[in-house]
Every structure is written in structure tokens, then in C-alpha cells.
Amino acid sequence: MSTALVTGAAGVLCSALVEALLEEGHRVALLGRTESKLVELQKALAAKGLTETLVVAADVLDRSSLEAARAKIEASFGPVDILVNGAGGNSPKATAQAETYTAETAKEKSFFGVDLQAYGEVFDLNLKGTLLPCQVFGDGMAERRRGTIVNLSSMSADRPLTKVIAYSNAKAAVDSLTQWLAVHLAPRGIRVNAIAPGFFLTEQNRFLLTTTEGGLTPRGDKILRNTPFSRFGEAKELKTALKFLVHPDSSFVNGVILPVDGGFSAFAGV
């Protein structure tokens, strides 16, 4: 049994990842900024008989808050051996409303209207919000020569999706960080990998993919036409990918970005 930490634990995808770690017999620290959401998750897990959890309210963008989290986790569960960097997401303000810039496109709906502050917030949450926990928790792993890190990438990392500029740029940087750190920490036996989820309906993308009436937007429809399984993923379909990446028998798997996407990244669209 190891101690795991999941940032953004109360998230739609991340709560399934928490469940996966508990099913494998790990103790899991649940980290996010809103304590009440974490307590709610803790209760829901306990109702399923999954009780080895610890609620830790902290901000992934604040080093001192992460250091306080580390002290709390170590006091109750011991040092973190598995770090899952799940906190991340997009914001409508950091999104260009137009896919491409044609003669008819209003400038404010194009790249030229993207709000730089909103861009920075999304970029920081996804990149620095992954990098900082790697520093705060990876340090101990490297010292102990024991531990593994799993970051959350996206289909937007490899080939950027239209509109979501800040998110795409940041997730590409998360892939780069994953590979960079996999090499850097290899002499210490620390593996660093990422999961790249395909399209799962969640709060961060619902406004882009579905209409208020519950139908598909043209973008949602386009995504399903480019997903060979012709459906959105379900959060529980990420669980085995995480179990695989953190398993001690995956000891030679390092620096990979594992897509879980119903074939989206394999399909050329023709």
C-alpha cells in the first residue's frame, strides 16, 4: 500500500481516478481548494467502502499551501509515493469564439480578442499547477528513490483544438514537462507519465459541446464524427489506465503520454 495524492480530486474525471487508486489499496489524499467538495467526495467514497482518504484543502498554484498539504499528508499517511496532477481546466474567457479568422470574423471573436489575463490564468493552472506539485512532492520521491507521477494531458496537446488556445498551449507544455521530468528524474528511479483523455462531457467543456437543450453543438457533433467509437468517454474508463501507469510492474514505462480517447488520436478523419 502506498500513499497517493490526487490534485483536483473532486473533479469529474479525477474523482474516478481517486476511486481507481483506492481500489488498488492505496491511501489517497484528496486535494482541491474547496474543502466542502472534497468532504462530499470522501463521504461518497466511504459509502462504497473506500475509506482510506484524507481531505487536504490547498491551491496547486501556491507553494506554501502545498507545503502545508505535504506536512498534513505525511503526518497522517506518510510520504507521497504517487502524485496525480489532475487540477486543470479551461475557461470561456481564454477561448477564441471563432475557429478561424475569415474576412467575416469579428476581430474580438478571433485570436486578436483573446484576453491575456484569462489566457495567463488557464495557462498557469494547467502548467504551473502541475509543475509546482511535482517540485513539492517530487523532491521527497527523488530523495527516497521511490515514487511515480502521472500528469493529465489532453487531446489538445498534440494537435491543438480550435478555439481553446490557452488550454491547448498549456497542455502541450504539460506533455513537454512530463517528458522532460521523466528524463531528469530517471536516475532516481522516479517514473513520470501522463494520461491524455479524449472527450468526456464535464463542466469545463459542456458549454462547447452541448446546447442548453441537451443536444450537441456543431463542435460536439464534429468530435463524435472524429471519434471512432462515436460517443463521449465515461470517467470510469480512465481508471485502468491510471492503475497501469502507477503499478510497480510498469517499472519500465516512463515518459509516455497515454491516450484514452476511443480512437480519436488514431483517426485521420478520412
Binding test (CB under 6 A) with ligand NAP, winner from 10, 172, 173, 257: 10
Q: Residue 60 interacts with ligand NAP (CB under 6 A)?
A: yes
125 touches ligand NAP (CB under 6 A): yes
Site for ligand NAP in 143-182 (CB under 6 A): 152, 154
Stretch that binds ligand NAP, among 3-11, 175-183, 239-247, 251-259 (CB under 6 A): 3-11
Instruction: Give just the sign of the alpha carbon dihedral 159, 161, 165, 166.
Output: negative
Closest CA to 96 of 81, 82, 108: 108
Nearest residue (CB) to ligand NAP, 37 versus 188: 37
Pairing mode of beta strands 82-85, 3-7 = parallel
Set 119, 123, 167, 200: catalytic member: 167
**In this chain, which stretch among 22-30, 33-41, 44-52, 176-184 interacts with ligand NAP, using CB under 6 A?**
33-41
CA distances from 2 to 74, 114, 148, 190, 246 (A): 12, 43, 11, 14, 10
Q: Single out the segment in contact with ligand NAP by CB under 6 A; choices: 44-52, 86-94, 133-141, 186-194.
A: 86-94
Stretch that binds ligand NAP, among 54-62, 67-75, 186-194, 210-218 (CB under 6 A): 54-62
The least distance separating ligand NAP from the CB of residue 203, rounded to whole angstroms, comes to: 5
Q: Confirm whether 119 is a catalytic residue.
A: no
Does residue 33 belong to the site contacting ligand NAP (CB under 6 A)? Answer: yes
Q: State how far the alpha carbon of 63 is from the alpha carbons of 68, 120, 164, 183, in Å.
A: 9, 18, 27, 24
Does position 80 interact with ligand NAP (CB under 6 A)? The reply is no
Main-chain dihedrals φ then ψ at residue 88, nearest 5 degrees: 175, 175
Interacting residue ranges for ligand NAP, rule: CB under 6 A: 7-8, 10-14, 32-34, 37, 59-61, 86-89, 125, 129, 152, 154, 197, 199-200, 202-205
Just list the catalytic residues: 167
